[in-house]
Structures are given as structure tokens and as C-alpha cells.
Structure 1
Amino acid sequence: MSHHILQGRTEAEVLWHRRRSFLQAAAAWTAMGGYGAALAQQRSNVVELAGDAFVNGQKLLQDQYIQTGDQIETGPDSHLVFVMGNSAFLVRQNSRMTVERGATLNAVSVLRLITGAIVSVWSKGNSRQITTPTLTAGIRGTGVYTEIAPDGRTYFCNCYGTVELSTMTDRALSRSQYHQSFWVDPQPRAGRQLAAAPAINHTDEELERLAALTDQRTAWQELGRKGVKDGAGYMDPGHVHPLAR
């Protein structure tokens, strides 16, 4: 358990990428040409569906196509892996989210997480956003983990890349090569909503698998090294990027 700390999540949830069904589905997705080929051949962009998921209130079928504008919901003990444009998403169980249309029908401009958790990998490009009830994160090319805790706090990890974080009280620019994590409180504490957090509830391998689905690599794969996975750094004393008020 030293490689990932779990809080309110199960080992099985973060090890979905080891399932034979996913490995076979990912291999088939790559062999068939990935997202571009799926779009051209009007095939599904769902890589794997385990358990029940719903799109706009209707049960999602494995061969169905998820579009921008759709509301996505996963049930208990389920997860959903899908690709849209140059971005890949893993939606954990008991999650609800919408994907809003970007410059084209097949590009996401805003991912709105309402409940639950999602791992996502985004190619480089114009700024897009992930929002929760307490946070707006402007992303360029990055891998991130976003979770809404039962107490209403948002947990956000910039696993790699550059992210602009914005809350009612705080603005911050996070640059990360290896897991920089934050808690976002619903109400300010000592005038701030953002606080440093440990790296919890997601793994390097999840990001690597999602990146591979869109022919990308994570920052640590490109660098050939990893940092210390404690999520800290951004708000440590003496850090070069203090929070801007």
C-alpha cells in the first residue's frame, strides 16, 4: 500500500487497469486505430464499461457513443473508461458528471464533476476546464485526478502539467511533474479554501494507461524518473510559487 494511500476507496477501484477485460479492451482499442478510427468508422468511444453506467438517464451500452453535452453517471461497483478527442477519462463508481462541447463536437471544453471521482488525461491544447462545486481548474496538457469527498471538499491532484486553480478566495498556478495535490474547502479557513494535500486514491499506472489510450506519455515516463509521491510541494514554506491572493 505504500505506492498509493486510500481514503474511502477500495484497492480494487484503483487497480482497474490490471483487469484482464481492460487490458484486452485497451489492446483492441489501440489495434483498431484509437479515437480517430472510431470516429471515422462510427464506432463506440467506450473502451471499457464495468457494472452499470447511465448517459442522460438511459443505461449505457458498451457499443454506444458518448458525446459532448452528455450527462454521465456510474452506479455502485462500476467504472467507465472512454476517450473523447485527445482526452481519456476513467469515471469511478457513484460519480455524476457532464462533458460540455468545445471548439468541435468531439472536443471537451468543460468537464463538470458533480459527485464522485474521475481520472483524466488531456492532450496539449487550448485551455479547458474541470469544475466541481468549489473549484475551477484551467488545464492545458495534463493528467489530473479529481474527487468530491463526502464532506463536500474537493480533492484535486495535478499529476503532471500546468493547471490554473481558482476558488472563491484563491487563485494559484500549479506546475507539476509528479503529483501536486490540494484540498479545496467549501468555506474558507483562515481566509483560504486551498490547502496542500497528500497524494491519495489514484495511481501512476492509472494515468499511464489513460495516456496510452490517446498515444501520450506521462511526464515521469518522458523524464524517465519519478519524484516523491507525497503530493506536497506547492504550499511548502520557501516554495517558489506562493499562492496569489
Structure 2
Amino acid sequence: MKPKLLLILIPFLLLLSCTKQTEKSAPDIKGEIVNMEGDVTLAGKSTKIGDPVSDESVIQTGADGYCEIQFLDSNIIRVFEDSIIRISFSNSTVSLDRGAAAAVLRNLSSLIQTMDDVFTIKSGTVVAGIRGTSFYVKREDADTSYFCLCNGKIHLSDGNDQFSKDLESTHHLAVRISEKNRQLEVSNAPMLYHSDKDMEDLAGVIGQKMDWNAVESYH
């Protein structure tokens, strides 16, 4: 069986207690559906604007649906049509199982206490980690994912230290990651599926602006 591409947003939770470093208990964080249209379900049930998004929630959109989830005031995720994401605040993860999503993240300090990567794409032993604030990601098929670093930093690597690359961008740097015959292929890609206005509008929902002249990194 081929390893599946997993797209996971992972801010690690650590806390120093006295002189011993221990794993931090997750704060009681909930998101909220702030915009939506069409067919959207939350935990298998129809949802509406204003509904809370709890820990370990599964959000699914239909062919005509989308929704936007805000959490910790200055973070927002847009789930595009025909998509499935899983959100775990306790593990600080957002996993894209199908479809596409975009995010503007400006306030993760309550979720992460270190400078570890906050967004990863995993395929077998290969990891793409990002410390930037804005991205777009799409599962093009079972073995191929498109990722655009709209603004920020990304680190591509594998678990065997055979491949490692750091990227940063002020204005959309895209790659396509695919796995064929158990071999990973990473190639440059054009800007697809989204626009400057899409990201600017998403940032505007949480009262933020996109700065296309500087590499931003928020924790």
C-alpha cells in the first residue's frame, strides 16, 4: 500500500515546569464558524454561522460549500468546496484529508511555546515544515499535493537527511509534492487555485492585512 500524503498543521506544545521540561496541557480552545455557504457539516451534522468548533472536530464541505473557522481571535482557516479537514486543538493539528484549505495565522502563542515548525506536509519519511503565517494547500490526488507558501518560511526534508531545503517568500512560492513508486518528487509549481485577493480577503475577516513586502512570522 502506498503511503498517503498527510497535510498537517502541527504547532508543538511544550512547557518548562521548574527545572524539568514537560508536555504542556492544551488550553481549552474552541473555534467558531464565522462564514459559510452551501453544504457544510460539522461532526456529521449540518452547521451554521456562529457554531463552535470543538477539539477533534471534522468539517466537511459539499461541492457547493465552503466555510471559514476563526480561533484565538487572529487565526483563520478557509475550507474550500468538496473538502474534509480534522481539527485537534489538544494536539495543535489541522489535517487536510481531501480538497483544499487556506490559512492566515497571526496568533499561535497560546498553542505553541517553542520555535518548532508550525505546518508540516508528510509523505512517508518526508516532512515540509513552515513557520510562516499564510498558505494555501490542495490535495490534487491521492499521491500529489500542491502547496503555496503565500508569505513566510518553509523547510522541506526527509527523515533520512537525504533531502533538505529551506524556502522563504514574501509573495507566493509554490511547490508540488508527489510520491510515485515510493519515490518522492518535489518540483516548482506556478501560482494556482488562489489569488492575492483571496488571501487579502481572508486576512480581512480577522482584521488583518497581508504585507507582500516582508516575510512575516507570527507565534
Equivalent residue for 1:171? 164
Answer yes or no: is 1:200 the counterpart of 2:192. Answer: yes
Deviation at 1:58, TM superposition (A): 1.6
Q: Cα offset for 1:124?
A: 5.8
Residue 99 of structure 1 pairs with residue 90 of structure 2: no
Taking only the aligned residue pairs, the percentage that are identical comes to 23
Give aligned pairs, total: 175
- How has the CA–CA distance of structure 1 residues 136 and 77 changed in structure 2, closer, same or farther, with 3 Å as cutoff? farther
Cα deviation code 1:121-157 (max 9, x no counterpart): 1126544224465764433342100000136310000
Q: TM-score, normalised by structure 2?
A: 0.69
Q: Post-superposition shift, 1:47?
A: 1.7
For 1:182, the equivalent position in structure 2 comes to 175
CA RMSD of aligned residues (A): 2.8
Q: Which aligned pairs between 1:23-34 and structure 2 lie closer than 5 A?
A: none
Q: Name the residue aligned to 1:24.
A: none
What is the correspondence of 1:72-221 to structure 2 with a 5 Å cutoff?
Answer: 72-85=59-72, 86-102=74-90, 109-123=92-106, 125=108, 126=112, 127-131=117-121, 136-150=127-141, 152-166=143-157, 170-187=163-180, 192-220=184-212
Residue 167 of structure 1 and its aligned partner are, at CA, apart by 5.1
Q: Which has a greater percent of helix?
A: 1
Query: Secondary structure of 1:219's partner?
Result: coil
Structure 1 residues 123 and 136 mapped into 2: Cα distance closer, same or farther (>3 Å)?
A: farther
SS of aligned partner of 1:211: helix
Q: Does 1:50 align with 2:37?
A: yes
Match of 1:7 in 2: none
How far has the Cα of 1:55 moved from its partner? 1.5
User: Secondary structure of 1:208's match?
Assistant: helix
Q: Is the 8 A contact 2:150 2:170 kept in 1?
A: yes
What TM-score results when the alignment is normalised by the length of structure 1?
0.62
1:54 Cα offset (Å): 1.2
Which structure's relative contact order is higher, taking Cα pairs within 8 Å and 6+ residues apart?
2
How big is the shift at 1:90?
1.1
